[in-house]
Amino acid sequence: MKKYAGLILLTLLAAACGSDTRLFQQAKLATSRGKYEKALDLYNRLIKQNPQHAAALTNRGLLWETLPAKTPAQKAQHRHYAEADYLRALELNPNQPETYNNLGALYMDMGRNGDAIAHFSEALARSPRYFRARMNRAVAYSKVGDFTNAILDFTAADQIRPHDPVLLYNRGLAYFEAGKYESAVEDFSHAIAAQPFNAKAYVQRARAFIKLGYPANAYDDLYTAIELSPAEPLAYYYLGELMYRAGDADYALGALVKAKELAPQYAPTYDLMGDMLAAQQPVDATSNYLVALKLDPQNADKYRRKLEMMKTEEGRYYLTTSRFFPQGRAYTASGQRRVAAPAPRPAPAVTAPAALQRPAARHARTPRTSSRSRRGK
């Protein structure tokens, strides 16, 4: 599960001239109607007729990214063709910011975030108020852990397009990762005010409330997220952790079972359940750690350490208490709760801007605020 909206915002160029205009417009129309094979044929004809047509090369590059791929190898081939088209377009017209943005977005999709940042920067050097490139560079900075520059770019983008809910949501995530939880709450609250049916924003605000020590507010947000989107696995994940800290182990484990059902490949759920069960149900805890190890080999050392600690009683109690009750051992040797969960504190009020005040009525549908837009402005 990605924390950041993969905000790949690409641009379909509109410029055309001379005898190429008809083919260019036909290709654009076919693309807009989802007839990608036809559009590809039209761009191929146009580029064969005029190999110097930079806008056609840029749009064909975008089309290669859009075409469905039946296998990973075919997807990699499409990306290779797209990269070649974008690079050729930049050779012909090195001052087109949209092409730099599209190539940067392709590199971000491929995990080449350093190259992505460089190309978004080239786009912004040519067009400093280019919202798409500014947003994309912010996300790329977030992906490499440079949250200071990510926040700066999101804030600059907010000056171009104020109160954009996708921007607010993503900047909230950057604030969270930077440890600025109050700012994260503020941005998530503004995003919710703009789109009050976005379950993911409630989940992320709940995470920030947890970090700030306001579990009651986190409960409210998580229940709201489940009400809006009953299939939102992270809502159950964080609710399980909160309920366990509050002393309701059965409810907590039930929430994690639901989270597993909704997202069976999400390793942190198995890790969390293992920590819950380590002190009193070591066999089940070990099974969960083994699944997490299989699903998340990049963190294999962490899971192997936990499996090693499961061999001793002291290690098993440490796994549970260090995560949930770091202020002291939560259980006696007989399994009785020793440490009570802290009483919830009221969170400070967060007021959205007047233009974004949350409406009283709710609707049933949850809009997608983090979808990947690949066309148009």
How far, in Å, are 236, 262, 265, 317 from residue 1 at the CA level? 14, 12, 9, 29
CATH number of the domain residue 326 falls in: 1.25.40
Query: Residues 169-179: pLDDT tens digits?
Result: 999 999 999 99
Instruction: Provide the pLDDT for residue 19.
Output: 58
Total domain count, the chain: 3
In a domain, 375, yes or no: no
pLDDT band at 14 (very low <50, low <70, confident <90, very high): low
Query: Is residue 377 one of the residues assigned to a domain?
Result: no
Domain membership of residue 363 as a residue range: 162-246+343-370
Q: Is the pLDDT of residue 370 over 60?
A: no
* pLDDT value of residue 21: 85
Query: Distance between CA 39 and CA 35 in Å, rounded?
Result: 6
- Residue 4 confidence (pLDDT) above 60: no
CATH number for 236: 1.25.40.10
Residues 6+ apart with CB under 8 A from 17: none
CA distances in angstroms from 373 to 8, 332, 376, listed in the order given: 6, 54, 8
Average of per-residue pLDDT across 239-261: 95
Task: Assess whether 282 and 359 both reside in one domain.
Answer: no
pLDDT-wise least confident of 1-15, 30-44, 118-132, 224-238: 1-15
* 169: its two tokens: 């949501």
pLDDT digit string, tens, across residues 216-236 = 999 999 999 999 999 999 999
Domain's final residue, options 141, 161, 181: 161
Do 240 and 255 fall within a single domain? no
50 and 136 co-located in one domain: yes
241 and 363 housed in the same domain: yes
Looking at residue 204, what DSSP letter applies?
H
**Is residue 59 in a domain?**
yes
**Do 148 and 48 share a structural domain?**
yes
Q: Is residue 359 over pLDDT 80? A: no
pLDDT at 301 over 50: yes
Among candidate residues 142, 161, 180, the one where a domain is terminated: 161
Identify whether residues 206 and 301 lie together within a single domain: no
Q: Helix 233-245 vs helix 199-212: angle between axes, to the nearest 10 degrees?
A: 30
pLDDT value of position 331 = 45
pLDDT in tens, 114-149: 999 999 999 999 999 999 999 999 999 999 999 999
- Rounded to the nearest 10 degrees, the angle between the axes of helix 147-160 and helix 165-177 is 160
